[in-house]
Amino acid sequence: MSSIILLVFVLLLPLASSQTFHWGPCPSPQVQPNFQVEKYLGKWYEIEKLPASFEKGTCIEANYSLRRDGTIRVLNSQFYKEKVSTAEGTAVVRDTRESAKLGVSFSYFTPYAPYWVLTTDYTSLSVVYSCTSFLHLFHIDYAWILSRSPSPSAATVLYAKELLVREGIDISRMKPTVQNC
Ligand SMILES: *[C@@H]1O[C@H](CO)[C@@H](O)[C@H](O)[C@H]1NC(C)=O
C-alpha cells in the first residue's frame, strides 16, 4: 500500500509545479443553490485562476452552449504562442439535486473532472472550483474567477476571492489572466 502511495506521489510530482497541491482531502465548499444552467450559457472571460498546466495563454474564455442531447458543449479558447487555440469539451450535471456540481471532460478517454459553481449571478460573476483527492491523502485543485466582462470591477474580484477563502480554499497562488486581446 505505502509503495503505491509513493508511486502515485512520484508520478504526480511533476504536476505539482503547475497545479496546486495540498495534503489532506478536498475542502467541501457550498455551491450555488438552484443552479440554472440555461442562464449560465454563453461566453465567460477568465479573470483569475489557480495555475493549470493546460492554461498558459492569455485572453482565456469559455463559451457554454446546450447540445441537442442535453449535454453542455464547452468551448475554451486562449491566445498562446501567437495563435488562438481552442479545446472542446462536454459538461454534464451529475446529480440533479445538486445541479451546480457539474463534471467536465475534454476527451472521450478522460473521466469527468469536477466543475463546481460556488456562486454565480449569471450576468456578471461566476466562481468555479475543481478538486480531486487521491486516497484522501492529498488533493489537487483549480479555481477560476469568471466574468461576463473582460474587466470586472476590483470589488467584484475581491468578493470572489473572499468567498473562496471563506470556503477554505487556498488562493495564495491565484494569478490574474491577461485579457488584452
Ligand atoms: C458560443 O457558441 C454558440 C454555439 O456554438 C454560438 O452560437 C455562439 O455564437 C458562441 N458565442 C460566442 C460569444 O462566441
CATH number for 2-176: choose from 2.40.128.20, 3.40.50.12280, 3.40.50.300, 3.20.20.120: 2.40.128.20
How far does CA 178 lie from the centroid of its chain? 17
Q: Cell numbers 454534464 label which residue?
A: 92
Residue 21: all three cell numbers together: 497541491
Domain boundaries, the chain: 2-176
Rounded Cα distance between 3 and 10, Å, is 10
> What residue owns the CA closest to ligand 1's atom 6?
65
86 in ligand 1 pocket by Cβ < 6 Å? no
Contact call for residues 30 and 168 (beta carbons, < 8 A): no
> What residue owns the CA closest to ligand 1's atom 13?
43
- pTM, full prediction: 0.88
Q: How far is CA 11 from CA 8, 15, 51, 64, 119, in A?
A: 5, 8, 19, 33, 33
- Per the document, the length of the chain is 181
C-alpha of residue 154 to centroid of ligand 1, in Å: 27
Q: pLDDT tens track of the chain, all 181 residues?
A: 455 555 555 555 555 556 778 999 999 999 999 999 999 999 999 999 998 877 889 999 999 999 999 999 999 999 998 899 999 999 999 888 999 999 999 887 788 999 999 999 999 999 999 999 988 899 999 999 999 999 999 999 999 999 999 999 999 999 999 998 8
43 in ligand 1 pocket by Cβ < 6 Å? yes
